Chains A and B, each alone.
Chain A
Amino acid sequence: LAKTTQPISMDSYEGQEVNITCSHNNIATNDYITWYQQFPSQGPRFIIQGYKTKVTNEVASLFIPADRKSSTLSLPRVSLSDTAVYYCLVGPPEYNTDKLIFGTGTRLQVFP
């Protein structure tokens, strides 16, 4: 089981770049790194996933160093609507209950 560690909370202001780092020292060779976003009173939703190096989509960027023991979710120029909980998950494509642990995530609060 590749456990993950991420900050409990972060604060930012509108227009700033936010970087949330997740540690996963025991990541396995076939594990992917996936981030979900959860707005208040809603279920989580997938935002980005990667295996190594850098991945970018319309929502965020994901940076993964060569050793893959950590990853950083980068949100460019955040707005108030980015206030949410962000979860880092690490696991293989196939399911196993032990690996599908979202945990408490990182609670991002964006201020005006």
Chain B
Amino acid sequence: DAGVIQSPRHEVTEMGQEVTLRCKPISGHDYLFWYRQTMMRGLELLIYFNNNVPIDDSGMPEDRFSAKMPNASFSTLKIQPSEPRDSAVYFCASSLLAGGYSSTDTQYFGPGTRLTVL
């Protein structure tokens, strides 16, 4: 398996523009997670899906952020309008079960998308 795939790897945009980040989870994984990482706040969970259904989006910073999972093999995280403070690395991860804390079911992370908002 190719692992979790994210695109683009780097994104530079101007304030006010719409940004769409994409993720393809590992085939067969039922859970998908979106994280944001900054130097100041570390790695934060934004939202996660189970079987394509959003379970908890309380980590989403504000209404400018939205995430969708139209099918089991694709998810998007959209920021509209983008702001400089959104600059961060955004990771997508997937897992087979409700794990992360289990040695037999860990979260597998993608390479991340480095977003820079000017």
Contact = CB atoms under 8 A, between A and B. Distances in A.
Interface in B35-74: 35, 41-45, 48, 55-56, 58-59
Contact of A42 (B42, B102, B106, B111): B111
Given A44-B109, A46-B106, A95 B48 contact: yes
Contacts of B31: 95
B43 A89 contact: no
Contacts of A20: none
Contact of B101 (A34, A45, A102): A34
Interface residues of B, number: 29
Interface string B67-103: 0000000000000000000000001010000111111
Interface in A62-112: 87, 89, 91-97, 100-105
B111 A97 contact: no
Contacts of B33: 100
Which of A44, A49, A91, A97 has the most B CB atoms < 10 Å from its CB? Answer: A97
Contacts of B100: 34, 89, 91, 95, 100
Contacts of B107: 44, 46
A49 B105 CA distance: 11
A49 B104 CA distance: 10
A43 B99 CA distance: 17
Which of B31, B55, B93, B106 has the most A CB atoms < 10 Å from its CB? Answer: B106
A41 interface: yes
A98 to B, nearest CB: 8
Contacts of B25: none
Interface of A: 31-32, 34, 38, 41-46, 48-49, 87, 89, 91-97, 100-105
8 contacts: A32-B101, A41-B111, A43-B109, A91-B100, A93-B102, A95-B98, A102-B44, A105-B43
